[in-house]
Structure 1
């Protein structure tokens, strides 16, 4: 019997190319939920590269002015054990990050109800064996993921691991089925681990992505021309995520964001140092970029980083400073407000560093790393430093990584962590495990290739895609898509033997 595979395809289009290669190499029926803009939708309405048995365009199913069925939502929460308001509060479109449209309580509940009913209808109609998707960054695809988990549908998620340039096909959005076994196939010294980390550093990969992300000036000006003079901007009527984004308002906000970015960067350059005294004992907290899934979905109760910083600072033993480093990708969010910077800088025992401060030197010289959900916790182990996490992650099972369960325990956990030595054997075992289950693939770099080719470097995602242009891209990157489809097929076949 053919496998029934449901794809969630978003604007990155990675899963679309994978679907084409998968159908060529695996006996299956394909279906898709497609989450894209109106101009890109035209391509999917005419494409023949992938023979989807049925597709659902996500944004076709919403009327935000309908009155929500509260009884249905209550029963849904009980049935799936999903906290809908937690998802809603941490959706950047619904709450504090949306500068264009203010959703009412009824609007939000109505959208959630229509999503829940749509997902249940789709799943009941096709009863898929597998769902293939990338890591869900928004409430609506995360909600779909959670429903599938409860229904015990096998989910296959293409995701980067916390080691650079490697990916896995995982059954879980964040956690890995990792247990300490002391079965070490490759036993590196800490010096060798540092060399390994230099070659496969997620921080290094992030820097490379930062250097390319929305940095094409020609792409930016082409995107502006397309948006102002070619696009009909129909999404403002059809996509609740675009409500309020008239061309005039977007133009005004874009200019305002540019001015804010420059003004705030000037404050950063003037007030945030790039180095600290080498002899100073300190705990290192690298800030997360705002409006990202690492906080909104993975750590929804810790999205206020100013409060987190204050809690860490007041939990430090006397004699230690808390050293903060601004995230370099915050430029994409116009940096933080100057009032936020000033509020943090007023905390007595902190040092707030410039985004260009040397992350590696801070790891080398600190006594402890604290992060909400960041990869710096894994980096710390490479540099023989213990760390504290606020949520579970793929590497939170490492003995030198302390998972904080309650803020009231923070002071005692910090003291315990400061007296913990990192063992090379633990780090080696974890890296060997990741190497066994992962494959070489630069996911961020591949997404950027799509952005450069279809979306003016990422400056405009509502673009028309011609059949010829897509055909050329799929052929040009055929080997990459075949690699991805082969990894999915391996995972599918392995799941049948369990």
Structure 2
């Protein structure tokens, strides 16, 4: 049996531990990987635990485009074989290629490549990944995320070749994760929820968990992702400039000096996705100037008893927009669409994501406020204060839509997200249908507690308790990481074994 891992950036260290567990506990014999980030690739090459038959490094493949001649015949054949239905989804998903973001800080938005160069990048990555899959022939591939050109090519090519794909998703229940064969839906959860409906029975254990989860959430609503809570982010100017405090300033100067000193000896400093100290310094300076000017004067007050719909701004760039809603990534345009779809007397309350406050430019908010029935709400106000009083929740594919659903609110989404499967959540696919969906949700909303309980029960049945964010971002002890990842490794093997035995 051969396993392949998408070893994306710093997830490579966790992915490698998963591979060790699969080897030692489940006797998976062979491994290969597609790696993003040179330091992660070097770690995997130098370790002695797993003998990877092949480790593709995205940065090395990317570099080859400079010596590659454009082959339109190959790209046309690829479009025929792997198009969705064309090749643009593979390009548009990649924030570095499209906007140079990551290398540069949001709101920077200028591609470092022209059209022909982008096609040559796509061509060389497609050819290399296709050859990799044909040579390695893995039985399954584990994805931490599908968030760039390479990972999206790997996913769809594997699908076309009949290779099992397992995408790790947060379950939207604290510290639990699940697997799906899709990157934009919970495939196994949907199967299980449908099975409950067909058999007209839900296992008592997971049903009780679902009911208790709903009861606890409704009595004390809490965000799915704790760091996104306003109390965890520097929303006020005083917090944004704490770096000037003597102790912080000393540490920051030392860190920056170290980055500049090490920059010229780093092997990855010529990689296309390398974040250089000069760009970091330049973008940080611009951000601090924006923060100094601030946007407090642009915020509006909410009005008691006012009828309003709520739209929470999304973090950018992020897969919530780029992958799940590629034709609704322009949030200013989307806000205008929602506002123009509301009945007379209604306002649209727009609130910034707390993690984006320090990044978004003042001009962005001024453009939003040009629409007369829009109020820009201070991000210090929690989303739950707005959800509870809103007549309608609108979101691309955010957790606020899920939280609104749990609180029995009408929800309209614009992106592919797992809770779209609920009959009382409406998914807007075209601008023209939005006013009609708004009217339907405001006048004929029919919440179904049993349907929601089925979905939550299915999530409990299909998920495992894994503190993945903590293991990824904070835990450094390899044995503790290994113990924490055991349930996820078991789930991977359970899904692969079941699918092969009963397929």
TMscore range, shorter length: 0.7 to 0.9
Residue among 423, 448, 455 paired with 2:448? 423
- Do the aligned partners of 1:187 and 1:428 also contact (CA within 8 Å) in 2? no
* Greater displacement, 73-82 / 34-43: 34-43
The alpha carbon displacement at 1:403 in A equals 1.2
| Residues 255/487 of structure 1: CA separation in 2 closer, same or farther (3 Å cut) | same
Q: How many Å apart are 1:484 and its aligned residue?
A: 2.3
Q: Paired residue for 1:228? A: 260
Find 1:387's aligned residue among 411, 421, 436.
411
Match of 1:169 in 2: 179
Q: Classify 1:38/1:399 alpha carbon distance in 2 versus 1 (closer, same or farther; 3 Å).
A: closer
Task: Specify every segment of 5 or more residues in structure 1 that has no aligned partner in the other structure, as ranges.
Answer: 454-472
Query: Which residue pairs with 1:433 in the alignment?
Result: 458
Give distance in 2, aligned partners of 1:225 and 1:477.
Answer: 32
Q: CA deviation at 1:140?
A: 2.0
Residues 1:118 and 1:212: Cα distance change in structure 2 (over 3 Å):
farther
Change (3 A) 1:481 1:221: farther
**Gaps (5+ residues) in structure 2?**
105-109, 235-239
* Correspondences of 1:72-471 after superposition (within 5 Å): 72-82=74-84, 83-98=86-101, 99=104, 102-177=112-187, 178=190, 179-180=193-194, 181=197, 183-184=201-202, 185=204, 186=207, 193-196=214-217, 201-207=222-228, 211=232, 223-231=255-263, 232-237=265-270, 239-242=271-274, 246-260=276-290, 262-263=291-292, 266-267=294-295, 269-273=296-300, 276-331=302-357, 334-419=358-443, 420-449=445-474, 453=476
8 Å CA contact 2:230–2:380 kept in 1: the answer is no
For residues 343-367 of structure 1, give each alpha carbon's deviation from its aligned partner in whole angstroms, at most 9, with x where no partner exists.
1011111111122212111111111
Q: Distance in 1 between matches of 2:212 and 2:459?
A: 19
Q: Tell me the SS of whatever aligns to 1:50.
A: coil
Alignment-derived partner of residue 466 in structure 1: none
Change beyond 3 A, Cα 1:300–1:37: same
Residue 50 of structure 1: how far off its partner (Å): 2.0
Highest RCO, 1 vs 2 (Cα 8 Å, sep ≥ 6) = 1
**Is 2:487 the partner of 1:483?**
yes
Tell me whether 436-445 or 285-294 shows the greater mean CA deviation. Answer: 436-445
* Whole-angstrom distance in 1 between the partners of 2:389 and 2:298: 22
Q: Could you tell me whether the CA contact under 8 Å between 2:233 and 2:354 is conserved in 1? A: no
Distance 1:117 1:358, change over 3 A: same
Q: Deviations over 1:373-399 (max 9, x none)?
A: 112222112111111111332110112
CA distance in 1, matches of 2:332, 2:497: 47
**C-alpha separation between the residues in 2 aligned to 1:407 and 1:101?**
28
1:368–1:386 contact (8 Å) kept in structure 2: yes
In structure 2, relative to structure 1, the CA distance for the partners of 1:123 and 1:69 (3 Å cut) is: same
Provide Cα deviations, 1:426-477, integer angstroms capped at 9, x if missing partner. Answer: 2211111111111122322322226xx5xxxxxxxxxxxxxxxxxxx31232
Is the contact between residue 189 and residue 424 of structure 1 (CA under 8 Å) also seen in structure 2?
Answer: no
Indicate the SS of the match to 1:478: helix
Q: Is the 8 A contact 1:227 1:233 kept in 2?
A: no
Secondary structure of 1:53's counterpart equals coil
Q: Give SS of 1:436's match.
A: helix
* Alignment deviations for residues 318-348 of structure 1 (CA, whole Å, 9 cap, x no partner): 12111111111114xx422211110101111
Name 2:237's counterpart in structure 1.
none
Mapped contact 1:130–1:155 kept (Cα < 8 A): yes
Using the TM superposition, give the Cα deviation of residue 149 of structure 1 relative to its aligned residue in structure 2, in angstroms.
Answer: 1.6
Q: Answer yes or no: is the 8 Å Cα contact 1:9–1:15 preserved in 2.
A: yes
Matched positions, count: 466
* 1:248 Cα deviation from its structure 2 partner: 3.2
- The answer to whether the 8 Å contact 1:164/1:202 transfers is no
Distance 1:11 1:196, change over 3 A: same
What is the Cα deviation at residue 409 of structure 1? 1.1
Deviations 1:264-287 (A, max 9, x none): 6x21x33224x5123011111111
TM-score (norm 1): 0.86
CA distance in 1, matches of 2:174, 2:220: 8
Counterparts in 2 of 1:113 and 1:483: CA distance versus 1, 3 Å = same
What TM-score comes out, normalization by structure 2 length?
A: 0.85
Describe the SS at the equivalent of 1:385: coil
Q: How much does 1:106 deviate?
A: 1.8
Q: Assess if the C-alpha contact under 8 Å between 1:398 and 1:427 holds in 2.
A: yes
Shift of 1:124: 0.5
- Structure 1's 40 and 383: CA in aligned 2 closer, same or farther, altered over 3 A? closer
C-alpha offsets along residues 64-86 of structure 1, whole Å, 9 cap, x if unaligned?
A: 32332111011101011233223
Contact preservation (8 Å) 1:167, 1:438: yes
Alpha-carbon distance in structure 1 between the residues aligned to 2:124 and 2:316 = 28
Change over 3 Å in CA distance of 1:313–1:418 after alignment to 2: same
